[in-house]
């Protein structure tokens, strides 16, 4: 399909960049070139309408060939919009016509830059902005080669005057002699080449031929010429720059949305819409690292009872429905659903930072009760209820501090610092402090890398105990460990079982 100006909205632009075929994107590039040629055509029309006043600054003999070239470029781009969209099934032809489009446009825009006075604003927008826009729509290697070729072409043409070769210009330049004192004034005023050319032209025109051109007259000519050509360069560059910035703004919004969507799918369980196991463990690691030294950290591992029987009796579709509705109960009961994840199969992991043991037991009991009371409505009118077993463990702040201390000690014993010459020099001045500092730098973390698995493993033991006690139970790993310690204290003075 041939593209149109009405397809350039933000929402459709995302589809253009990521979903359109190469031929349609190339057709859109041709449409952009057509729009730029139309702006040039309007400028030529404006100069022609006001030729009586503007001929002092513009070489009208040069304007007509340029206007003809703009017509040809516009018609060529218009034809390419239709032609490129019709050859999408022929990659070889499409590649050839992409090269033709970029080559013709490169020559055209180089010509426009040069005859308009080689403005840095126009050149920068055309070279950099146009290349960046083209890389979104055309094969990148074509754009890169055209960009390098265009720079080389502009540099060659700019250097021609130093070899005695003048390139045609729209700036109306005439042979004229400026008095020495006036010429010195012009140089001291910091006039540009464009302004000097306009003044020379003014001195040669019939409107000023019979008048004495003094300093005031030169200032007036200078201001009017500067206004005209600066306005011309702004007209040529700013609309294109605004459009390119808009396109890249839309592209960044698209990339942000795409990144958010990608992260959502990477971090979210598709069935239950809870976070998945990988993200749940990442969140657990981050919240543990950020935990205050006076806070406890609680973990709940939950498993649905007899879930395999549900799949075998009612089918996996009903099993998926059970998982979805149980996830809904978890979301409705818990305040922060970011800490709830599907750990695997019918298992769910819930982490509760800054939560004491008696609080987490209350939460787990509430979850157990809500799940047991929830009625699963099957599509054929049949309904049933499910239950879940819970293993709960709370890592106390004292135990967390001990784990950090043991880990730091182990790291310090195993790390052999590699010192630079400067560090060795500092170490001679302050041996003890430097060694301690190096050890702190070498230590990657205050917590062992498997800390999450340790906590989950302890909660998992409590979960299996809940299964052994008949299911639909909440069992505390802390109470299990305390009971075990009491039973062992009669024969041994061992401390709390290490994680």
184 shares a domain with 49: yes
Are 233 and 300 found together in one domain? Answer: no
Q: Which residues pair with 350 in a beta bridge?
A: 300, 340
| CA distances (Å), origin 196, targets 42, 104, 227, 292 | 26, 32, 13, 72
Distances (CA, A) of 152 to 33, 149, 164: 21, 5, 19
The verdict on residue 118 lying in a domain is yes
269 in a structural domain: no
| Cα distances (Å, whole numbers) of residue 386 to 361, 369, 371, 378 | 20, 11, 7, 13
Q: Where are the alpha helices (DSSP H) in 138-174?
A: 140-159
Instruction: Write down which residue in 236, 264, 292 finishes a domain.
Output: 264
235 shares a domain with 323: no
Are 243 and 309 in a shared domain? Answer: no
| Residue 9 located in a structural domain | yes
The reply to whether 361 falls in a domain is yes
| Residues 133 and 187 both lie in one domain | yes
pLDDT in the model for residue 241: 81
Residue-by-residue pLDDT tens, the chain, 499 positions: 455 544 555 455 555 555 677 888 888 888 888 988 999 999 999 989 988 888 878 888 888 888 999 999 999 999 998 888 788 777 888 888 889 988 898 888 888 877 776 666 667 777 777 787 787 778 888 888 888 887 887 778 777 777 877 777 787 644 344 444 444 544 455 555 545 555 555 544 444 444 444 555 556 655 676 778 778 888 888 888 887 787 777 777 777 777 777 776 778 888 998 988 888 888 888 888 888 778 899 999 999 999 999 988 888 899 999 999 999 999 999 877 668 999 988 999 999 988 899 999 999 999 999 999 999 988 777 889 999 999 999 998 888 888 878 777 776 655 445 555 555 555 555 554 444 444 334 334 677 778 889 999 999 999 999 999 999 999 999 999 888 887 777 656 545 555 5
Residue 399 sits in the same domain as residue 447: yes
Residue 38 lies in a domain: yes
The reported pLDDT for the residue numbered 437 is 46
Residue 499 lies in a domain: no
291/258 same-domain check: no
Phi, psi (rounded to 5 degrees) for 139: -55, 130
Task: Dump the DSSP string for 169-186.
Answer: -SB--------HHHHHHH
Predicted local distance difference test score (pLDDT) of residue 430: 56
Residue 496 lies in a domain: no
Is residue 336 classed as helix, strand or coil in its secondary structure? coil
Structure tokens at 320: 């998926």
Contact criterion met (CB below 8 Å) for 469 and 451? no
Q: What is the model's pTM?
A: 0.54
Q: Are 256 and 281 members of one domain? A: no
Is 136:251 a contact under the CB 8 Å cutoff?
A: yes
| Rounded CA separation 247/9 (Å) | 10
Same domain, residue pair 333 and 250 = no
CA dist 443 and 419 (Å) reads 15
CA angle, residues 139, 141, 143, in degrees to nearest 5: 75
* Number of domains present in the structure of the chain: 2
Which residues contact residue 358 at a Cβ distance below 8 angstroms, ignoring those fewer than 6 apart? none
pLDDT for the residue numbered 443: 37
Do 104 and 231 lie in one domain? The reply is: yes
The answer to whether 285 touches 349, Cβ cutoff 8 Å, is no
Strand partners, 348: 302, 342
With respect to residue 439, please indicate whether it lies within any of the assigned structural domains.
yes
Q: Which own/partner contact pairs does 233-236 have at CB distance under 8 Å and 24+ positions apart?
A: 233/116, 233/117, 233/119, 233/121, 233/122, 234/121, 235/39, 235/43, 236/39, 236/40, 236/43, 236/112, 236/116, 236/119, 236/122
Judge if 287 and 419 occupy the same domain: yes
Handedness of CA 448, 450, 455, 458 (dihedral sign): negative
Domain that holds residue 422: 277-489
pLDDT the model gives residue 390 = 96
In terms of domains, do 304 and 161 share one?
no
């Amino acid at each position: 399909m041939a593209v149109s100006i009405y397809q350039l909205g933000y929402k459709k632009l995302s589809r253009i960049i990521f979903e359109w075929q190469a031929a349609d994107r190339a057709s859109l590039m041709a449409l952009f070139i057509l729009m730029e040629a139309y702006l040039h055509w309007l400028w030529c029309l404006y100069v022609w309408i006001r030729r009586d006043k503007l001929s002092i600054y513009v070489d009208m003999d040069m304007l007509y060939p340029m206007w003809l070239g703009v017509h040809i470029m516009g018609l060529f781009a218009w034809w390419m919009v239709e032609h490129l969209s019709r050859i999408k099934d022929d990659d070889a032809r499409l590649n050839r016509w992409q090269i033709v489009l970029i080559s013709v446009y490169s020559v055209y825009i180089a010509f426009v830059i040069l005859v308009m006075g080689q403005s840095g604003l126009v050149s920068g927008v055309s070279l950099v902005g146009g290349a960046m826009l083209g890389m979104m729509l055309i094969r990148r290697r074509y754009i890169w080669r055209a960009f390098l070729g265009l720079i080389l072409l502009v540099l060659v043409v700019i250097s021609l005057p130093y070899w005695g070769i003048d390139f045609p210009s729209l700036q109306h330049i005439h042979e004229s002699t400026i008095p020495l004192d006036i010429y010195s004034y012009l140089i001291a005023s910091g006039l540009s080449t464009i302004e000097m050319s306009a003044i020379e032209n003014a001195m040669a025109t019939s409107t000023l031929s019979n008048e004495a051109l003094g300093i005031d007259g030169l200032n007036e000519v200078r201001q009017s010429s500067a206004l005209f050509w600066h306005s011309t360069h702004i007209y040529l560059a700013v609309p294109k720059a605004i459009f390119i910035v808009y396109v890249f703004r839309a592209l960044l919004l698209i990339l942000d949305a795409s990144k958010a969507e990608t992260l959502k799918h990477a971090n979210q369980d598709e069935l239950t819409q809870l976070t998945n196991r990988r993200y749940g463990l990442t969140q657990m690691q981050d919240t543990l690292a950020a935990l205050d030294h006076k806070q406890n950290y609680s973990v709940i591992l939950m498993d649905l009872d007899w879930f395999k029987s549900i799949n075998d009796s009612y089918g996996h579709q009903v099993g998926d429905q059970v998982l979805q509705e149980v996830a809904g109960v978890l979301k409705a009961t818990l305040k922060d659903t970011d800490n709830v994840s599907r750990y695997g199969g019918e298992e769910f992991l819930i982490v509760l930072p800054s939560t004491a043991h008696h609080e987490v037991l209350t939460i787990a009991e509430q979850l157990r009760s809500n799940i047991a009371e929830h009625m699963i409505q099957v599509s054929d009118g049949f309904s049933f209820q499910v239950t879940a077993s819970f293993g709960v463990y709370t890592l106390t702040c004292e135990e967390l501090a001990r784990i950090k201390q043991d880990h730091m000690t182990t790291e310090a014993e195993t790390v052999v610092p590699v010192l630079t010459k400067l560090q060795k020099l500092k170490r001679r001045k302050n041996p003890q402090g430097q060694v301690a500092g190096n050890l702190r730098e070498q230590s990657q973390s205050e917590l062992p890398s498997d800390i999450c698995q340790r906590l989950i493993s302890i909660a998992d033991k409590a979960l299996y105990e809940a299964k052994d006690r008949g299911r639909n139970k909440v069992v505390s790993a802390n109470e299990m460990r305390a009971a075990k310690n009491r039973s062992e204290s009669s024969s041994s003075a061992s401390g709390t079982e290490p994680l």
